Homo-oligomer: A and B are copies of this chain.
Amino acid sequence: MKPTDLFKTHPLLSDRVRLAIMAVLAASEEPVSFTELAEKLQLTRGNLSSHMQKLESENLIEVKKEFVDRKPSTTYSCTKLGRTEIKNYLVQIEELLKKV
């Protein structure tokens, strides 16, 4: 592996917060609600919201808005592409780790 291979990973994943969001979503079998994500990652709603919009615009996550018991509910899940990109990122990181 060349060090430049790291530049081929998805640019959105090279941010600690977005990486943590993706890890939570990819590790969960069920969609995760906005509120749960904000609590788990200790992020403000504004901060989380801005990251989610970026991830959604690149098709790394999927958003679902619906009414549950007459209340609006927003849940997120990791897309197939998101899962592929995160796995790719992990492989590169593991390669780097071996050499350090």
Minimum CB–CB distance from A7 to chain B (whole Å) comes to 6
Residues of chain B within 8 A of A68, CB atoms compared: none
Question: Are B20 and A6 interface neighbours, CB within 8 A?
Answer: yes
Q: What 1/0 mask marks residues of chain A from 25 to 43 whose CB sits below 8 Å from any chain B CB?
A: 0110000000000001110
Minimum CB–CB distance from A13 to chain B (whole Å) comes to 8
Residue numbers of A with Cβ under 8 A of B are: 2-4, 6-7, 9, 11, 14-17, 19-20, 23-24, 26-27, 40-42, 83, 86-87, 89-91, 93-94, 96-100
Question: Are B19 and A6 interface neighbours, CB within 8 A?
Answer: yes
Question: Are A16 and B20 interface neighbours, CB within 8 A?
Answer: no
Question: Are B100 and A97 interface neighbours, CB within 8 A?
Answer: no
Residues of chain B within 8 A of A91, CB atoms compared: 97
Residues of chain B within 8 A of A2, CB atoms compared: 40
Q: Which of B11, B23, B40 contacts A16 (CB 8 A)?
A: B11
